[in-house]
Chain A
Amino acid sequence: MDLQIALFLGQDGLVNGAVYGLLALALVLVFSVTRVIFIPQGELVALGALSLAMLQSGKIPATYWLLVALAAPALALEIWRWQRGQLVDLRSTLVWTVLFPSAAGLLMLVQPRLWPGSLGVQSLVTVLMVTPLGPLLYRLAYRPLADATILVLLIVSVALHGILVGLGLWFFGAEGWRTPPFSEARFDWAGVSVSGQSLVVVATVVMLVLLMFLFFERSIIGKALRATAMNRVGARLMGIPTGLAGDLSFALAALIGAISGLLIAPITTVYYDTGFLIGLKGFVAAIIGGLASYPVALLGALVVGLLEAFSSFWASAFKEVIVFTLIVPVLLWRSLNSPVIEDEE
């Protein structure tokens, strides 16, 4: 291996690592706020990527029908609860079940006429379509079991993962898709060729991380989410609705999933089940951060990305094995640093 290849692999690892980092942030967020280990995070990535591919080829992505199919029962459920006199947040319900689907639908209708072939608008449609899936899945699958153990919630996640992968196969077929890059530019820095798309990925990730940082540090809603993550009961006593926290963290996770999908679809061919592996690499990173620390999870994601890039050079057939086996030394290290046995919830 010469320096040239090393730099090339390093760039590759950095770009992938940035995406894994985003996913790791979402996973840590969802876990700390709702105790859900959100395995289907990766499926949302695939949904994002493949929906954009469908829009590109001028079709209505089946993701939209999935959204409608989830929004309708979620809305019906809330209305039913409301009529039985239960406390229901109708406004947020309408946002997720009506506003987002209709905005996505409208934009999808007018886009071919107003902005024909516009990658940007199609990306926006994709984001509008995938983001509400988060809170809808939360409301339908997780919220009825909100008091269950982490283990039960994890099993729900795995069940959802199965459903979404199966649906993905049905929606998009077994063939893979690639979308055009957001930037065709190429730069040559010190003999290393850097693609514009890589820069787009890294810049988007950095911007999102900064935005998230500001959101959690400065905004009252962000602080409410942090409070819920620290002490669920205490936050509820202070008037922060647990449901809102769940909705928001899942929406953020789905948003991040959709954006990650948009970012990777030009770099790698995405199949219906590609998302799972990508999501799991985010998990390895999140676990490096103990499912608790955002900065360590980000660093971990870079390690995962670089490890993957370099092992694909040396032992390409075993690159998944190497990346997933990384979890063992990480857990061992964490295990040795946690002396006290704690009771599960």
Chain B
Amino acid sequence: MTREPLERGISVDPGTVAEAGLLRSGTGASGRGVRATVIIGVTGLALAWPFLSDFTVSLFATIALYAIVTAGLVLMTGVAGMTSFGQAAFVGLGSYATAWVCTSPVATAALGAWVAPGLLPWIGLLLGAGLTFAVSWGLGAVTLRLSGHYLPLCTIAWGLSLYFLFGNLAFLGGHTGITGLPALTLFGFSMASPRALGVLAWVVLLIVLWGLSNLLDSREGRAVRALKSSRIMAESMGIDTARSRIKAFVLAGLLAAISGWLYAHLQRFVNPTPFNLNIGIEYLFMAVVGGAGHLWGAVLGATLITLLKQRLQDWLPQLLGASGNFEVIAFGLLMLFVLQRFPEGLWPSLASRWHRWLGAPRLSPREAMSKPADADTHPQPRGFMAPAGISIAETRSQAQLLKASQVTRRFGGLLANDSVSITVCAGEVHALIGPNGAGKSTFFNLISGVDQPSSGEVQLMGQSMTGRPARDFARLGLGRTFQHVRLLNQRTVLENVAMGAYRTGQAGWLKSILRLDRREEAELLAEAQRQLERCALTAYAGASAGALSLGQQRIVEIARALAGKPRLLLLDEPAAGLRHLEKQTLARLLGQLRAEGLGILVVEHDMDFVMNLADRITVLNFGSVIASGTPAEVQTSPAVLDAYLGGVIEPEVIERS
């Protein structure tokens, strides 16, 4: 609730949209220069690899293993706004699974007849991945409907439990663990030495980063980004946020399991210690210190923490005159410092400093904003394009899109909506008006699936929607905007609008990760671009949504709703914050949409706007309908005049309230 003013973002200067670090998604500062730097760094490491000392090689191998886990956490924490302290336990599952398969007499006896010994580790990988999938899916499912802090608490319990379990199960070797793991062989090549396995670890890490950045740059990636701040919005776009959350968590768990599998075959033995909760917390530190919203932040964080830990373990015990894991003190202090001073982690600051050093003329956010020039002299009428196809108003009109009958909503003793009935037909603009507190927003929530009526029924396209979530409403062709604008302020206007086209796409996570979704993605972006053009926002396509004025943000929301090709449009105070000319263009747009056969229900306070546009008007006061009809009828209704101008209060109005 403290973030509300930011969310509404009235002409927020992009520089000041400093939501507390973890909220930031996005790969922001990673421009071309950073990419070049990364390529140079990786190539340098590859060239130097044969000449590094054994110690350095195993250090770098460890860093890669940690970074794989941390990259999953970046997806979860920085992008999707969830957190896990239990990733070390998933690493443990991956390690123990392969250790058990490769060494246990039971497993080898059972598998020996089927599988060559060299393939056992791969069976172990499958088992580890399978177990991780089951556990993470289960934990995710258990917490998916609860608010975000239950998942991390659950992962603390999970991380502790698994550690105790590993330590107490005899067939896993108890606290001493399992020794004698075989080395991996890949294409007949033995990976016994850390030097060989380190290469594999880095290759895996690079593939993981590639896959994750593909994911973030896709339809499903946009859905994941919406999880953090705007689940209600995401659901209204047809996104199943619970599924998205689980998938992000499962993916992070699988990455941890892969890292654990590599770790087991690097060390060739496993015991419970490296999978303790403390290590799980360290993984999170890596993500936060590096920059939880940035994939390369994972690598930076893993590197920093690993090097630091190794140093601190050497000289902290000397300094304090006792032996023990004192590095947690330093890590904790470092965390507090980073969270308070660099809430986005170190990667973004480093990246921008590096940029300056390279002398690359990167646009500051402010410049980037002024670029879509003449922003303030809104491109005039030519903006709204005529509909492409012929009007299908005739064929569709009279079709009832939405029918709310006797809808009542109680909040405790408060009767917010009292038997409200309303219909919206194709090809009409129906306005819902009423004084403040009349129950308009409550009603809006009820007919869009955000909230459920206490009694009464909402029908959409002839189907009863009782008990169905907002995304089902979207699926049936309902598009909506929000009274308090819900955009992803950090993302571009184009991306925000493309979010609306989510449900018109098909490509899932796997396709997105493997970059097999490009044709569909291009179509979605083209559709978003079309809607932007239609709403005269093309000039802002590349600007971050938070930088627009409130009025423009409202139009972006309309474009986003239109990108989902709705049949019914619910607009919550679309004209609020618009200037006179902007209102005229908005009215023209709505008129066009009506001509195309859309049904539009609009809540609005601006009477001029409503009276000139609406075909029918329903007036709410104190939760119940006091008048409905054409604008002319409503304007002369005594009840309406009373409600708005405060005439003599009629007894029946008092009774209703």
Residues of A within 8 A of B (CB): 37, 39, 141, 144-145, 147-152, 154-156, 158-163, 165-167, 169-170, 173-174, 232-233, 277, 280, 283-284, 287, 291, 317-318, 320-321, 324-325, 327-328, 331-332, 334-336, 338-345
Known contacts A232-B1, A324-B160, A344-B147; is A158 also within 8 Å of B284 by CB? yes
B427 CB-CB contact with A under 8 Å: no
CA distance A320 to B228 in the complex (A): 32
0/1 string, B334-345, CB within 8 A of A gives 1: 011001100100
Interface stretch (choices B150-158, B181-189, B365-373): B150-158
Given contacts A162-B281, A291-B149, A345-B2, 5 further A-B contacts (CB under 8 A): A321-B161, A339-B452, A340-B451, A343-B232, A344-B148
Write out the residue numbers on chain A whose beta carbons fall within 8 Å of the beta carbon of B139: 328
Chain A minimum-CB-distance residue to B333: A163
Check A170 against B83 for contact (C-beta < 8 Å): no
B443 at the interface (CB under 8 A from A): no
Chain B residues near A344 (CB, 8 Å)? 81, 147-148, 228-229, 231
CA gap between A161 and B161 in the complex, in Å: 18
Q: How far, in whole Å, are A325 and B158 apart by their CA atoms in the complex?
A: 7
Q: Are A156 and B339 in contact (CB under 8 A)?
A: yes
A-B contacts counted at CB < 8 A amount to: 177
Going nearest first, the 5 A-B pairs with the smallest beta carbon separation are A163-B332, A166-B329, A159-B335, A162-B332, A148-B20
Q: Would A162 and B329 count as touching, CB distance under 8 A?
A: yes
CB pair A174 B324 closer than 8 Å: yes
Tell whether, in the assembled complex, residue B322 and residue A173 are in contact, meaning their CB atoms are under 8 Å apart: yes
A145 to B157, Cβ gap below 8 A? no
Within the complex, what minimum Cβ distance (angstroms) separates B81 from chain A? 7
Q: How many angstroms from the CA of A90 to the CA of B256 in the assembled complex?
A: 49
Residues of A within 8 A of B148 (CB): 150-151, 344
| A233 and B153 contact, CB distance less than 8 A | no
12 A-B residue contacts at CB 8 Å? A148-B343, A150-B147, A151-B148, A152-B21, A154-B83, A155-B335, A287-B153, A324-B157, A325-B157, A328-B142, A335-B142, A340-B451
Known A-B contacts A174-B324, A328-B142; the reply to A37 vs B332 at CB < 8 A is: no
Instruction: Report yes or no: B157 in contact with A163, Cβ–Cβ below 8 A.
Output: no
B1 touches A152 (CB 8 A): no
B85 touches A169 (CB 8 A): no
Name the interface residues of B276-329: CB closer than 8 Å to any CB of A: 278, 281, 284-285, 288, 320, 322, 324-329
Contact A169 B165 (CB under 8 A): no
> Once the chains bind, are B157 and A156 in contact (CB under 8 Å)?
no
- Asked if A321 contacts B322 (CB within 8 A), the reply is no
Known: A320-B164, A340-B451. A163 touches B232 (CB 8 A): no
Contacts of A163 in B (CB 8 A): 328-329, 332-333, 336
Q: Which residues of B contact A339 (CB under 8 A)?
A: 145, 452
Inter-chain CA distance A317–B149, complex, in Å, is: 29
Q: Is B22 an interface residue (CB 8 A)?
A: yes
Bound CA–CA A335/B213 (angstroms): 32
- Contact between A155 and B324, CB atoms less than 8 A apart: no
Instruction: Give bound CA distance, A174 to B322, whole Å.
Output: 10
Q: Are A335 and B22 within 8 A (Cβ)?
A: no
Across-interface contacts of B20 in A (CB, < 8 A): 145, 147-149, 152
- Closest chain-A Cβ to B624's Cβ sits at a distance in Å of 24
Q: Which single member of A152, A170, A287, A338 contacts B339 (CB below 8 Å)? A: A152
A34 to B538, CA, bound (A): 43
Point out the residues of chain B lying under 8 angstroms from A150, CB to CB.
Answer: 147-149
Answer yes or no: B47 CB below 8 A from chain A CBs: no
Interface membership of B56, Cβ < 8 A: no
**For the complex, is B146 an interface residue (Cβ under 8 Å from A)?**
yes
In contact, B329 and A155 (Cβ under 8 angstroms): no
Which of chain A's residues has its CB closest to B235's CB?
A341
**What's the minimum C-beta distance from A133 to chain B, rounded to whole angstroms?**
15
**Could you tell me if B231 and A324 are in contact, using CB atoms closer than 8 angstroms?**
no
Q: Which residue of the partner chain, among A141, A149, A169, contacts B23 with CB atoms under 8 Å?
A: A149
**Contact pick for A342, options B147, B156, B324, B452, CB 8 Å:** B147
Residues of A within 8 A of B329 (CB): 162-163, 166-167, 170
Q: Which A residues are CB-close (under 8 A) to B161?
A: 320-321, 324-325
For the complex, give the distance between the alpha carbons of A336 and B82 in Å.
20
Please name all residues of chain A whose beta carbon is closer than 8 Å to the beta carbon of B441 when the two chains form the complex.
none
- Is A151 a contact of B152 with CB atoms below 8 Å? yes
Contact across chains for B325 and A166 when beta carbons are under 8 A apart: yes
Q: How distant is A296 from chain B, measured CB to nearest CB, in Å? A: 15
Contact between A145 and B332, CB atoms less than 8 A apart: no
Q: Could you say which residues of chain A place their CB within 8 Å of the CB of B331?
A: 159, 162
B117 to chain A, nearest CB (A): 33
Residue in chain A with minimal CB distance to B168: A317
The answer to whether B10 has its CB under 8 Å from any CB of chain A is no
B143 within 8 A of A: yes
Closest to B174 in A: A317
B447 to chain A, nearest CB (A): 15
Interface centre among B138, B139, B142, B469 (most CB of A within 10 A): B142
Contacts of A145 in B (CB 8 A): 20, 339-340
CB atoms of B160 and A280 under 8 A apart: yes
Closest beta carbon of chain B to A43's beta carbon, Å: 11
Q: A151-B152, A170-B322, A341-B231 are in contact. Are A158 and B145 (CB under 8 A)?
A: no
Q: Determine the chain B residues whose CB is within 8 A of the CB of A174 once the complex forms.
A: 324
A331 touches B325 (CB 8 A): no
Judged by a CB distance under 8 angstroms, whether B461 is at the interface is no
Please, how many angstroms separate the alpha-carbon atoms of A174 and B157 in the complex? 24
Task: Provide the residues of chain B in CB contact with A340, threshold 8 Å.
Answer: 450-452
A331 cross-chain contacts in B, Cβ below 8 A: 142-143, 146, 150, 154
Most B CB contacts (10 A, CB to CB) among A39, A145, A147, A321 go to A321
- B residues 529-579 with Cβ under 8 Å of A? none
Q: Which of A161, A331, A334 has most B Cβ within 10 Å? A: A331
Residues of the B chain whose Cβ atoms lie less than 8 Å from the Cβ of A284: 157
B160 near A170: Cβ-Cβ < 8 Å: no
Known contacts A162-B329, A340-B451: A332-B322 contact under CB 8 Å: no
Q: Say whether, besides A169-B324, A233-B1, A325-B161, A341 and B22 are in contact (CB < 8 Å).
A: no
Decide if B580 is an interface residue (CB 8 Å cutoff).
no
Least Cβ distance of A254 to chain B in Å? Answer: 18
Nearest A-chain residue to B282, judged by Cβ: A162
B455 close to chain A: CB less than 8 A: no
Closest-by-CB residue of A relative to B170 is A317
A191 to B312, CA, bound (A): 56
Q: How far is the CA of A338 from the CA of B147 in the complex (A)?
A: 10
Tell me if B408 counts as interface (CB < 8 A to partner A).
no
Bound form: Cα–Cα A150–B147 in Å: 10
Chain B residue numbers with a CB within 8 Å of A159 are 285, 331-333, 335-336, 339
Q: Is the CB of B147 within 8 A of A327?
A: no
Determine how close the nearest CB of chain B comes to the CB of A170; give it in whole angstroms.
5
Could you tell me the distance between the alpha carbons of A158 and B336 in the complex, rounded to whole angstroms?
A: 10
A163 to B85, CA, bound (A): 16
- A156 contacts B335, C-beta separation under 8 Å: yes
CA distance A37 to B149 in the complex (A): 9
Contact of B145 among A287, A320, A338 (CB under 8 A): A338
Closest to A322 in B: B161
Say if the beta carbon of B512 comes within 8 Å of chain A.
Answer: no
Chain B positions 430 through 458: 1 when the CB is less than 8 Å from some CB of chain A, otherwise 0: 00000000000000000000111000000
Q: Smallest distance from the beta carbon of A30 to chain B beta carbons, Å?
A: 13
| A317 to B164 alpha-carbon distance, docked (Å) | 8
Q: B11 at the A/B interface (Cβ < 8 Å)?
A: no
User: Whole-angstrom distance from the CB of B223 to the nearest CB of chain A?
Assistant: 14
Q: Tell whether A318 pairs with B168 under 8 Å between CB atoms, given A158-B284, A341-B231, A345-B3.
A: yes
Shortest CB-to-CB span from A308 to chain B, Å, is 13
Would you call B273 an interface residue if the criterion is a C-beta within 8 Å of the partner chain's C-beta atoms? no
Q: Tell me the complex Cα distance, A341–B227, Å.
A: 11
Chain B residue at minimum C-beta to C-beta distance from A287? B153
Q: Is B483 an interface residue (CB 8 A)?
A: no
Q: What B residues does A320 contact at CB under 8 A?
A: 160-161, 164
B230 touches A343 (CB 8 A): yes
- Interfacial chain A residues near B83, Cβ < 8 Å: 151, 154-155
Within 8 A of A (CB), among B30-51: none
